[in-house]
Amino acid sequence: MKVLVTGAGGFVGKALCKRLETADHIEVIGAVRTLPSQPYGACSLVAVGDIDGHTDWSQALAGVSVVLHLAARAHVLNEQSRDPREEFRRVNVEGALALFQQAIDCGLKRFVFISSIGVVGGSTEGKPFTETMPPAPHADYAHSKYEAEEALKALSKSSGVELVIVRPPLVYAAHAPGNFARLLKLVALGVPLPFGSVMNQRSMVALENLVDFITLCVRHPAAAGETFHVSDDEDVSLPQMLKLLGRGMGRNVLLLPVPTGLMALGAQLLGKKNLYTQLCGSLQVDSTKSRSLLGWQPPISAEIALLQAGASFSRSQKHDA
């Protein structure tokens, strides 16, 4: 079986290609924007350039029966575009549809689309997100993912190609980008942190767990036509997360009990309200369906994954020093 992984040079894509190379009877093709100076393991790479509605996927799709579409325009920390929503649409919607349509002509059997839990919303209050909840995308990125989901469902229905949608929450590892990278750097500083009063609950998914689940979706017959939420075996609070990362680094993390209302006000005044919500708010995901329908179990617990992330980050800092 030949499997195409788009976004093969990304944080999740590299790990997924490496995981698929260990699976039986799978040949992995990785689509990247430009060819790197060093290969990613045994994965064969194909350069496709920028992704949009005009991307030519013909070389990458030759002989492919399953596409794992990870490539996307994700959260941009320093947005420079005059029209961010349209930029997200160009890559995440138009790019995904062009790939799917070209893949149909190449005899594609299954298309696995990596979406986002943001399609359902940005935070929860006591009730975790399930796959049956109505969509409520909260940002341009999430809106583009939801639009892509709906358009891909229509193409799947008309073409007969099996569609699998995977909605992960925050994906983490020692080399993760975004907010998780910020937390690792904060813990590594060894300074007191003002999060002692935070009592949130957040679902996340370790990189190892996510790539294991995606690999299962390549072949599992029950995955066809389904949408899945995928997360670790347990939710954690921000203080728990910071302490586990600290333990992995060999550090004691001192958390000051700063009132959350005061932090929220400060974040709003500084224009960082979204960042405060992402770190201190709750976002819980019910991933029961992925376990019950596919029989999936996370290979690694959240506690061990966070300890390992802290330890690995600490080693990398010492190596770079």
pLDDT at 160 over 70: yes
Catalytic residues: 141
Q: Judge whether 99 and 70 are in contact, CB under 8 Å.
A: no
Which one-letter DSSP state was computed for residue 227?
E
Query: Tens digit of pLDDT for each residue in 203-215?
Result: 999 999 999 999 9
> pLDDT grade, residue 37 (50/70/90)?
confident
Query: Tens digit of pLDDT for each residue in 138-156?
Result: 889 999 999 999 999 999 9
Query: Tens digit of pLDDT for each residue in 49-71?
Result: 999 999 999 999 999 999 999 99
Tokens read off for 90: 């160009």
Number of other residues whose CB lies within 10 A of the CB of residue 196? 18
Query: Tens digit of pLDDT for each residue in 111-124?
Result: 999 999 999 999 99
Q: What's the CA gap between 262 and 94, in Å, rounded? A: 42
> pLDDT grade, residue 126 (50/70/90)?
confident
Number of other residues whose CB lies within 10 A of the CB of residue 10? 18
Q: What's the CA gap between 188 and 247, in Å, rounded? A: 11
Number of other residues whose CB lies within 10 A of the CB of residue 200? 22
pLDDT at 256 over 70: yes
Q: Judge whether 72 and 86 are in contact, CB under 8 Å.
A: no
> Whose structure tokens read 């294991």?
212
For residue 241, the surrounding DSSP H or E stretch is helix 238-249
Residue 92, helix vs strand vs coil: helix
pLDDT at 74 over 90: no
Name the residue with higher pLDDT: 44 or 42: 44
Choose among 101, 167, 100, 104: nearest CA to 133.
167
Q: What's the CA gap between 138 and 136, in Å, rounded? A: 6
Q: Which domains does the chain have, with CATH numbers?
A: 2-167 (3.40.50.720)
Structure pTM?
0.94
